[in-house]
Amino acid sequence: MKSNIQMKNSYQKLEDNFGISRAVQLKMINDLHTEMSSGLIGQKSSLRMMPSFAEPPKGNETGKYLSLDFGGTNLRIAATDLMGNGNVVEICAEKKVIDKNVQAGSKENLFDFIAESLSDFIVKNDMNNSDDKLLGFTFSFPFEQLGLTSGKLLSWTKGFSVGGVVGEDVVKLLNESIAKKGIKNIKIVSLVNDTVGALAYGRYKNSGCDMSVILGTGTNAAYIEDVSKIKKYALGENLVGKMMVNTEWGNFSKLPRTAYDKKLDEATENSGLNMMEKMVSAKYVAELVKIIFSDFVDRNIFSVKIDKQEQAASLFAAENISEVVGDNSPELKFVEKELKSLGMNGTNLKDRILFKKICDDVMERSSQIIATMIVGVVLWMDPKFDKSHVVAIDGTLYEKASGYKKSLMKNVDNLLGNNAGKIALILSKDGSGMGAAITGATRGGVSDAKISRKLSAI
């Protein structure tokens, strides 16, 4: 068992490794701009900077739509009525957990699961015999958009490993399963990444919104770009106006990583990729805490040992970190409970304080990184902060983790200094799905025909 001083030193070392100084933040922003710039012109970059081929909505789009949001954890289907004037009414909605068999099964299994869920939703809500049902499809993975209603998956993230989908058009695969299932009159009118959906929804409701962030199982951001700056598909030539761009920032690689981050990455399906995502998002923060915890246990820094079997059986996840971070009881009762679930019984208050600090540090670093990235993207759009910006954020980590919203705002404002207050962060719950419907309704701007002509000319 280690002395108090050794415990303190180990903790101090962790804090030093996980802390992100202002100098590091400024360098990150610089590197972010270099990567954004290379990505937009199609040069090597850790940021894919994917054009969505959709212009930002105006807020006056109307009509009834279905939206199908395939995320990292859930599939959410909804029927929405776009009323114009920035109003969206959700008529009915349903959420299903995407289970492990679907995440790692065959492509037929995956798209049949989506089609079947859609079919059940339609039957349940008595829409079977209605005319054309316009559907916006949100697909929360990196894909290369080939038009507003077509896109090829580039790689899986967030632990998915379904065979045979990379390189395929996901709308085509979905349409095949819809046809197999015999669902009538479905017309897919848009394919969007969840960030683009969240941005479209944020913008529909608030004309000052020019960026979106997803902070859930995975992380990513989209923003509004001048079409003239998007050179990767020679799109910029004659086109003017604005387009929503999916940065795929989860893959940003210019970050100081610790030995713990490296260990976590080695154990993932997509090792070497999405380094930033693995430092911040809900799928990975709990893994990081467990890796640090095990290291501290192995080095006897806690006053007690653990039962390895109990630890292996633990379902410790982001929600549990949230409980630890939010525990302000004098004896840290919730922390004690979480430590028990990790196989550590008989802890004293110092052990609990140490574990809480580990969780606090992991979450604080997540919030600092995201704050830096948000400020970086806003500075890219508006280098002198000539105006205020609204960022629409969707995802469980932002919405539910104890203290996260507050900490993110604080970190954004700290970084902004004199410009503090010029970035507003708003929760945009389930915006990613509704945004697909809105994007389908927008249609104007860059048409599919123009895009395919440009793309085939590359």
Which residues sit at the interface with ligand BGC, rule CB under 6 A?
Answer: 71-72, 140-142, 157-158, 193-195, 214, 218-220, 248, 250, 274, 277
Pair of tokens at residue 280: 């911040």
β-bridge mates for residue 92, sequence order: 79
- 47 versus 306: smaller Cβ distance to ligand BGC: 47
E-strand ranges in 305-450 read 389-394, 423-427
Task: For residue 376, give every residue at least 6 positions away whose Cβ sits within 8 Å of its Cβ, in sequence order, or none.
Answer: 28, 29, 32, 33
Q: How far apart are the first and last CA of the chain?
A: 65
- 57 versus 142: smaller Cβ distance to ligand BGC: 142
Task: For residue 188, give every residue at least 6 positions away whose Cβ sits within 8 Å of its Cβ, in sequence order, or none.
Answer: 135, 136, 137, 149, 171, 174, 175
| β-bridge pairing 389-394 and 133-139 | unpaired
Question: Residue 56 gets which letter from DSSP?
Answer: P
The CB-of-71 to ligand BGC minimum distance in angstroms stands at 6
| β-bridge pairing 423-427 and 389-394 | parallel
The CB-of-220 to ligand BGC minimum distance in angstroms stands at 3
The CB-of-407 to ligand BGC minimum distance in angstroms stands at 20
The CB-of-195 to ligand BGC minimum distance in angstroms stands at 5
β-bridge mates for residue 339, sequence order: none
The CB-of-43 to ligand BGC minimum distance in angstroms stands at 20
The CB-of-246 to ligand BGC minimum distance in angstroms stands at 7
Buried (b) or exposed (e) across 38-56, using 16+ Cβ within 10 A?
Answer: bbbeeeebbbbbbbbbbbb
- 248 versus 430: smaller Cβ distance to ligand BGC: 248
- 195 versus 366: smaller Cβ distance to ligand BGC: 195
- 35 versus 194: smaller Cβ distance to ligand BGC: 194
Residue with nearest beta carbon to ligand BGC: 218
- 65 versus 141: smaller Cβ distance to ligand BGC: 141
- 209 versus 282: smaller Cβ distance to ligand BGC: 282
CA distances from 388 to 203, 207, 211, 310, 398 (A): 14, 11, 12, 50, 21
The CB-of-293 to ligand BGC minimum distance in angstroms stands at 25
